[in-house]
């Protein structure tokens, strides 16, 4: 297992290595680096693919102190520094997209392009803040029992094969670590008004059955990003489209990345 000491955190990561252009994948809330296994398998013959576990999730050991997605963006950029990567494509699903957008604002010269999967640039809707806040409180204080875990899996994954795998992982993990990550999620600010600052190419991918972040939010984000050509809609996919529908997602990502490599 590989770890990088970054800002007082012990960040777990995987690195396919090689001389190809670098792509760093950042996972969604309650998920971990392995949700990108289908993308790693498809991309690693041509690209250097990095995945990592953000604070509060997976194998990463963090200090359990408050943090924001600006901090998470700094983690991803520092991981690139640790791996000797000057510039990379930042790819993120849901909260991974929140931090990838912020990385492009912090260090635009280091973000070659963005791949934004089932994410948005806005703040959380007040109705969802209350709903998700109650769910996170129960998760932290009681743990992800079968009823709660099945509800959450239905929102994020909604797949008969993947749901049980992730529920088992959630129920065997340290549920209290989600506390600060939940605060970061629910209290994040909107960056919609700053999207015009991001001029790199952007690929926006979104499931048409995503109830966590509705498709119209991805459309708003795409329209405000100068480098986006529109939203690639994944039919039948919920929130974790890259995990449950890897074929159409990879079919969008690969030509996008190849086009970047071919550009002067």
Domain layout of the chain by residue ranges: 2-123+191-262
Select from 11, 17, 57, 67 the least CA-distant residue to 34. Answer: 57
Select from 72, 18, 10, 9 the least CA-distant residue to 40. Answer: 18
Per-residue pLDDT, 65: 97
Return d(Cα 89, Cα 112) in angstroms, integer.
5
Is the pLDDT reported for residue 169 higher than 80? yes
Is the pLDDT reported for residue 263 higher than 70? no
At residue 23, the 3 state secondary structure works out as strand
Per-residue pLDDT, 264: 55
Q: What is the mean pLDDT of residues 224-228?
A: 98
Return d(Cα 23, Cα 111) in angstroms, integer.
10
pLDDT tens sequence across 99-143: 999 999 999 999 999 999 999 999 999 989 999 999 999 999 999
Q: What is the mean pLDDT of residues 175-200?
A: 97
pLDDT tens sequence across 50-83: 999 999 999 999 999 999 999 999 999 999 999 9
Q: pTM of this prediction?
A: 0.97
How many percent of the chain have pLDDT more than 70? 99
Return d(Cα 16, Cα 192) in angstroms, integer.
33
Per-residue pLDDT, 261: 72
Strands of 9-59, DSSP E: 9-15, 22-26, 48-52
Tokens at residue 100, please? Answer: 């990838």
Per-residue pLDDT, 30: 98
Select from 14, 13, 33, 18 the least CA-distant residue to 261. Answer: 18
Return d(Cα 233, Cα 113) in angstroms, integer.
19
Strands of 7-98, DSSP E: 9-15, 22-26, 48-52, 88-93
Per-residue pLDDT, 123: 98
**Residue whose token pair is 């094969």:** 161
Return d(Cα 69, Cα 67) in angstroms, integer.
7
Give domain 2-123+191-262's CATH architecture: 3-Layer(aba) Sandwich (3.40)
Return d(Cα 184, Cα 46) in angstroms, integer.
34
Strand bridging mode 9-15 / 2-6: antiparallel
pLDDT confidence band for 243 (50 / 70 / 90): very high
Per-residue pLDDT, 15: 98
Per-residue pLDDT, 1: 74
Is the pLDDT reported for residue 258 higher than 70? yes
Is the pLDDT reported for residue 259 higher than 70? yes
Confirm if 227 and 198 have CB atoms less than 8 A apart. yes
């Amino acid at each position: 297992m590989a770890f990088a000491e970054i800002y007082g955190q012990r960040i777990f990561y995987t690195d396919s290595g090689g001389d190809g252009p670098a792509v760093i994948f950042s996972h969604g809330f309650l998920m971990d680096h392995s949700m990108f296994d289908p993308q790693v398998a498809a991309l690693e013959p041509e690209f250097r693919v990095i995945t990592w576990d953000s604070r509060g999730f997976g194998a990463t050991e963090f200090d359990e102190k408050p943090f924001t997605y600006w901090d998470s963006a700094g983690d991803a950029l520092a991981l690139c520094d640790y791996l000797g990567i000057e510039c990379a494509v930042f790819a993120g699903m849901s909260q991974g997209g929140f931090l990838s957008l912020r990385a492009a604002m912090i260090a635009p010269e280091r973000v070659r392009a963005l791949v934004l999967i089932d994410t948005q640039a806005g703040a959380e809707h007040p109705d969802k803040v209350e709903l998700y806040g109650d769910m996170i409180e129960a998760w932290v204080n009681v743990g992800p029992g079968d009823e709660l875990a099945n509800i959450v899996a239905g929102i994020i994954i909604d797949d008969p094969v993947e749901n049980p795998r992730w529920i088992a992982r959630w129920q065997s993990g340290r549920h209290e670590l989600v506390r600060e990550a939940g605060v970061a999620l629910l209290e994040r600010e909107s960056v919609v008004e700053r999207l015009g600052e991001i001029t790199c190419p952007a690929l926006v991918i979104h499931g048409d059955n995503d109830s966590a972040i509705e498709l119209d939010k991805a459309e708003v984000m795409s329209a405000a990003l100068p480098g986006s050509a529109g939203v690639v809609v994944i039919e039948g996919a919920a929130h974790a489209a890259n995990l449950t529908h890897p074929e159409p997602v990879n079919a969008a990502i690969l030509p996008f990345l190849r086009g970047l490599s071919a550009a002067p």
